[in-house]
């Protein structure tokens, strides 16, 4: 499909606009503006009031003013470095126009003595005299309309003047074609939004700062258009994932009931709800594409295992992929007793399996003798084939974007897909990143998990902290000690893990303290982790390699050194490593005084709450959308108008509208569907257009 003809003028080269030569076009390209369409969505961030005033007298200075003046005497500088001055009179007061490095002959032509002119620019007092240095506009009175009464100010870029941007944007606005409405009529009426053409016109003609607010109807409409196009793309991707002929996978509950009967507790309401949602999806004839989002310790593993058992009850197989070998082995240890109680064959496959052992596992998988496989990404390698794979679960520590999910979905024939994440994601981010998926949220803690006491301790009290560890070890408990860096670097005063390990070993005794950090060979890391899991070492000094899912129920103290240098999400993940057993647990956040305001706020929110969703919202407020996701998260969209921090509600409306439109009109062939196609082209959602099956 090619771009519709009415949009051709908006997608022509930016140099086809008046005043944009090759050099300006090159400068604009650096900030992502390659066509008139891009200028339309680069909205002004400020507005200058250039309405004509009777006089400079009585104005708030410094400030930008426009007044009609009679031109007086020119004062030419005797020395080149001095400014050229022109005296003017607005009828109430005389003031100076000042020019540096000026050409006198040019100024005499533009400002002849005795003539009437309108001047507009910034006026300041200098030695008690009002001065306008390099006016922005000088026009004869008859051409007053050339000065915009309210001039929009655009984000600056080197090599492009505001005047050039203003002129080019005005020309781009003239190219906007008449477009049919893609927004649901009831939504338009409820929100009282203008049409697209009116909104884009008004957005570039603000009169007051209120017109620049994201909540202003005009901006809100354009933000919605952006979000709606994005959610349509995700909904199309979701439809694509589901369109793959799904298989009905419904079990009889025998295996699940065996496991549930053997548990010492009942699943929480949130777990029961998630299990029902997943079971329902698997029993439907469409492919499941679901995200299971749960805070640290909310019991995702049990929910995932119930889903795997459903696949086995239906005569199929299930696979669970973890990001690291440590985690894959931990899943194996956690699930093995449950699998045995249900009489199910569970195996592990990682890169470490070689030779005859690997071949034996592959053969057992292909025959269907292994019913549930746990492993690293090795489980998706080409030489691994299943007898009847029904469900793939990705324990997704490193989030990947929509495109990668689509690719993974293409690997298996009609395989149901469940993605798990332990990072509580603010609602706006969840909608923008996982809008193609159905979402189940675990927002309750399983019974028996005690709250973790969190305390802030200055690094000056290091000896007290070590003494506390000594008594905890004597009482049979284990502790984590997290350090910020691995090697001492001259530029940093952060304590290296190696040094901390030596100091703690000296204080607590040989063989008591273990060490794990990112630079260690994988095998040494595993050995150190295993010694800690088996309670051979009592204190594990580590860099953040332990933040992901490690489970040691006997560990009850988490010390995080220089906690103020960590992000909120990381602190929350680290704290979640303790509080997994029956004992009361403590997290000590050690900071180096004096704390900056942001560091203090992060540590205080950690002390106040254990709710990962609340913490993620504060993180979003503090760091902003762009920082939170980091540029590496290529799976995330960049919006030009929409502000995800302030417009979460709008994103949710856009999502339900997009899903409803596609449910009513899957091929987008109705009048509104055709208008929505036009929107997708306008918003450069070419990926989405490829997904609309050619109807």
For 452-609, CATH gives 3.40.50.300
- Per-residue confidence band for 245, with pLDDT thresholds at 50, 70 and 90: low
- Per-residue confidence band for 137, with pLDDT thresholds at 50, 70 and 90: very high
- Exposure b/e, 17-28, CB count within 10 A at least 16 = b: beebeeebbebb
**For the chain, what percent of residues have pLDDT higher than 70?**
88
In this structure, of 396-410, 459-473, 551-565, the range with the lowest mean pLDDT score is 396-410
Asked if pLDDT for residue 456 goes beyond 80, the answer is: yes
DSSP state for residue 157 in the 8-state scheme: B
Domain ranges of the chain: 5-46+169-212, 51-147, 452-609
pLDDT in tens, 121-132: 999 999 889 999
Q: Rounded CA gap, 486 and 489, in Å?
A: 9
Helix (H) or strand (E) holding 140: strand 137-140
Taking Cα atoms as reference points, which of 291, 311, 282 lies closest to residue 396? 291
Two tokens, residue 580: 């997994």
In this structure, of 248-257, 404-413, 560-569, the range with the lowest mean pLDDT score is 404-413
- Per-residue confidence band for 405, with pLDDT thresholds at 50, 70 and 90: low
- Per-residue confidence band for 635, with pLDDT thresholds at 50, 70 and 90: very low
Angle between helices 300-313 and 254-262 (to 10 degrees): 150
- Per-residue confidence band for 428, with pLDDT thresholds at 50, 70 and 90: low
pLDDT (average), residues 581-589: 87
Asked if pLDDT for residue 78 goes beyond 60, the answer is: yes
- Per-residue confidence band for 694, with pLDDT thresholds at 50, 70 and 90: very low
pLDDT in tens, 470-514: 999 999 999 999 987 545 554 444 457 788 888 999 999 888 999
In this structure, of 174-183, 396-405, 514-523, the range with the lowest mean pLDDT score is 396-405
What pLDDT sits at residue 664? 93
- Per-residue confidence band for 626, with pLDDT thresholds at 50, 70 and 90: very low
pLDDT (average), residues 460-476: 93
> What is the fold, at CATH topology level, of the domain defined by 51-147?
OB fold (Dihydrolipoamide Acetyltransferase, E2P) (2.40.50)
Q: Rounded CA gap, 220 and 152, in Å?
A: 18
Mean pLDDT, the chain, rounded, equals 86
pLDDT (average), residues 424-431: 68
- Per-residue confidence band for 628, with pLDDT thresholds at 50, 70 and 90: very low
pLDDT in tens, 88-119: 999 999 999 999 988 888 999 999 999 999 99
Higher pLDDT, 687 or 115: 115
Taking Cα atoms as reference points, which of 600, 598, 603, 596 lies closest to residue 624? 598
- Per-residue confidence band for 1, with pLDDT thresholds at 50, 70 and 90: low
pTM of the predicted protein model: 0.62
Two tokens, residue 550: 């490690």
Which residue do the tokens 């470095």 mark?
81
What pLDDT sits at residue 92? 94
Taking Cα atoms as reference points, which of 421, 230, 396 lies closest to residue 323? 396
- Residue 390, SS3? strand
Taking Cα atoms as reference points, which of 520, 308, 311 lies closest to residue 395? 308
pLDDT (average), residues 389-403: 70
pLDDT in tens, 23-44: 999 999 888 899 999 999 999 9
- Per-residue confidence band for 449, with pLDDT thresholds at 50, 70 and 90: confident
- Per-residue confidence band for 408, with pLDDT thresholds at 50, 70 and 90: low
pLDDT in tens, 272-316: 999 999 999 999 878 888 889 887 778 888 999 999 999 999 999
Asked if pLDDT for residue 537 goes beyond 70, the answer is: yes
What pLDDT sits at residue 243? 60
In this structure, of 70-79, 573-582, 615-624, 627-636, the range with the lowest mean pLDDT score is 627-636
- Per-residue confidence band for 161, with pLDDT thresholds at 50, 70 and 90: confident
What pLDDT sits at residue 629? 40
Helix (H) or strand (E) holding 620: helix 612-629
Higher pLDDT, 648 or 263: 263
Q: Which of 206-215, 540-549, 618-627 has the highest mean pLDDT?
A: 206-215
DSSP state for residue 147 in the 8-state scheme: S
Residue 430 near residue 455 (C-beta atoms within 8 A): no
DSSP conformation letters of 334-351: HHHHHHHHHT--EEEE-T
What pLDDT sits at residue 41? 94
- Cis peptide upstream of residue 594 (ω within 30 degrees of 0): yes
What pLDDT sits at residue 693? 47
- Cis peptide upstream of residue 520 (ω within 30 degrees of 0): no
What pLDDT sits at residue 524? 85
What pLDDT sits at residue 651? 87
What pLDDT sits at residue 633? 39
pLDDT (average), residues 586-611: 90
- Cis peptide upstream of residue 523 (ω within 30 degrees of 0): no
pLDDT (average), residues 258-276: 91
């Amino acid at each position: 499909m090619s771009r519709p003809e009415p949009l051709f003028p908006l997608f022509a080269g930016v140099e086809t606009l008046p005043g944009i030569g090759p050099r300006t076009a090159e400068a604009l390209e650096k900030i992502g503006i390659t066509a008139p369409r891009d200028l339309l969505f680069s909205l002004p961030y400020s507005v200058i009031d250039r309405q004509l005033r009777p006089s400079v007298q009585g104005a708030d200075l410094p400030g930008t003013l426009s007044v009609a003046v009679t031109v007086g005497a020119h004062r030419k500088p005797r020395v080149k470095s001095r400014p050229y001055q022109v005296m003017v009179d607005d009828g109430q007061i005389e003031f100076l126009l000042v020019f540096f490095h000026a050409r006198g002959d040019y100024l005499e032509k533009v400002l002849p003595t005795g003539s009437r002119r309108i001047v507009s620019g910034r006026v300041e007092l200098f030695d008690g005299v009002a001065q306008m240095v390099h006016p922005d506009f000088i026009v004869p009175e008859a051409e007053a309309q050339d000065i915009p009464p309210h001039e929009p100010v655009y984000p600056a870029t080197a090599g492009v003047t505001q005047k050039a941007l203003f002129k080019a944007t005005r020309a781009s606005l003239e190219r906007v074609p008449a477009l049919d409405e893609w927004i649901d009529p009831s939504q338009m009426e409820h929100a009282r939004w203008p049409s697209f053409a009116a909104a884009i016109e008004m957005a570039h003609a603000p009169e007051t700062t209120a017109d620049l607010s994201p909540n202003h109807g005009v901006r809100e409409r354009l933000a919605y258009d952006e979000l709606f196009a994005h959610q349509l793309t995700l909904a199309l991707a979701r439809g694509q994932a589901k369109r793959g002929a799904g298989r009905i996978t419904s079990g009889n509950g025998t295996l699940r009931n065996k496991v549930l009967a053997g548990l010492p507790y009942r699943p929480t309401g949130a777990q029961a709800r998630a299990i029902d949602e997943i079971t329902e999806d698997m029993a439907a004839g469409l492919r499941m594409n679901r995200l299971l989002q749960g805070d640290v310790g909310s019991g995702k593993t049990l929910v995932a295992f119930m889903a795997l058992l459903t696949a086995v009850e239906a005569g199929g197989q299930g696979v669970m992929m973890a990001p690291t070998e440590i985690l894959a082995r931990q899943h194996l240890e956690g699930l093995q007793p449950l699998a045995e109680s249900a009489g199910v064959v569970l195996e592990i496959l990682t890169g470490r399996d070689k030779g005859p052992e690997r071949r034996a596992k592959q053969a057992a998988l292909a025959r269907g003798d292994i019913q549930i496989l746990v492993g690293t990404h090795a489980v998706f390698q080409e030489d691994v084939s299943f007898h009847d794979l029904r469900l793939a679960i990705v324990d997704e520590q490193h989030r990947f974007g929509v495109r990668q999910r689509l690719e993974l979905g293409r690997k298996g024939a009609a395989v149901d897909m469940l993605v798990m994440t332990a990072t509580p994601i603010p609602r706006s981010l969840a909608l923008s990143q996982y809008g193609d998926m159905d979402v189940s949220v675990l927002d309750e803690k399983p019974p028996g998990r005690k709250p973790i006491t969190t305390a802030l301790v200055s690094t000056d009290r290091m000896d007290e902290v070590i003494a506390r560890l000594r008594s905890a070890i004597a009482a049979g408990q284990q502790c984590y000690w997290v350090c910020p860096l691995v090697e001492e670097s001259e530029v940093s005063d952060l304590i290296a893990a190696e040094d901390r390990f030596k100091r703690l070993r000296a204080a607590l005794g040989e063989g008591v303290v273990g060490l794990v950090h990112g630079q260690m060979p994988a095998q040494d890391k595993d050995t150190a982790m295993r010694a800690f899991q088996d309670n051979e070492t009592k204190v594990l000094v580590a860099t953040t390699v332990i933040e992901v899912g490690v489970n040691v129920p006997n560990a009850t103290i988490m010390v995080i050194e220089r906690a103020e240098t960590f992000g909120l999400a990381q602190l929350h993940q680290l704290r979640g490593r303790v509080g997994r057993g029956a004992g009361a647990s403590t997290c000590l956040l050690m900071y180096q005084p004096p704390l900056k305001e942001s560091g203090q706020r992060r540590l205080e929110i950690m002390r106040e709450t254990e709710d990962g969703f609340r913490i993620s919202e504060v993180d979003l407020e503090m760091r902003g959308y762009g920082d939170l996701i980091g540029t590496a998260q290529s799976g995330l969209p960049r919006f030009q108008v929409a502000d995800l921090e302030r417009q979460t509600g709008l994103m949710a409306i856009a999502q339900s509208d997009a899903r409803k439109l596609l449910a009513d009109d899957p091929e987008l062939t109705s009048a509104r569907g055709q208008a929505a196609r036009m929107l997708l082209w306008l918003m450069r959602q070419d990926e989405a257009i490829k997904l609309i099956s050619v109807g």
